[in-house]
């Protein structure tokens, strides 16, 4: 009976390690959910030149990526509270609104990563 109890404890421990706090060679979960709080500049003029956008918030990782209307932007990690992204002139050629969010990618089975809240960027 003790052997059966010990075996059940070992199975439960192995199952819970594979389903939660422990990952082995099957991938890495993103460490945190990113949050976008502010964009600088907050808007742009249609037909303007390319510029560097500063994204301020929290939970950014070294491999975080800024998305602009679902397209990946060249992103630079500054800190867990700040990223910069290159906005090409073609992205602000016409007046309108762009949707922006940050993704903290994972790997392996967690490759879909975690997205931040979506914020709007106005092009006048």
DSSP 45-111: -TT---EEEEEEEE---TT-EEEETTEE--EEEEETTEEEEEE-GGGGSSSEEEEEEEEE---GGGT
Within 10 angstroms of residue 35's Cβ, the number of other Cβ atoms is 15
**What global pTM score does this model have?**
0.76
Condensed to tens digits (0 to 9), the pLDDT of residues 76-105 reads: 999 999 999 999 999 999 999 999 999 998
Please give the pLDDT value at position 15: 41
Phi and psi, residue 18, nearest 5°: -80, -15
Domains and CATH numbers, the chain: 27-123 (2.60.40.10)
d(CA 26, CA 106): 11
Please give the pLDDT value at position 108: 80
Ranges of residues in the chain with a pLDDT under 50 are 3-24
Please give the pLDDT value at position 7: 41
**Residues sharing a CB contact under 8 Å with residue 10, sequence separation 6 or more, in sequence order:** none
Please give the pLDDT value at position 32: 79
């Amino acid at each position: 009976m003790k052997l059966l109890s010990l075996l059940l404890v070992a199975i439960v421990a192995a199952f819970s390690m594979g389903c939660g706090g422990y990952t082995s060679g099957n991938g890495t979960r993103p460490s945190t959910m990113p949050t976008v709080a502010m964009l600088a500049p907050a808007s742009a003029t249609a037909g303007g030149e390319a510029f560097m956008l500063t994204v301020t918030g929290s939970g950014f990782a070294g491999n975080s990526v800024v998305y602009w209307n679902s397209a990946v932007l060249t992103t630079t990690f500054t800190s867990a509270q700040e990223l910069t992204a290159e906005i090409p002139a073609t992205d602000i050629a016409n007046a309108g609104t762009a949707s922006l969010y940050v993704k903290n990618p994972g790997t392996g089975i967690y490759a879909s990563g975690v997205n931040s809240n979506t914020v709007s960027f106005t092009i006048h």
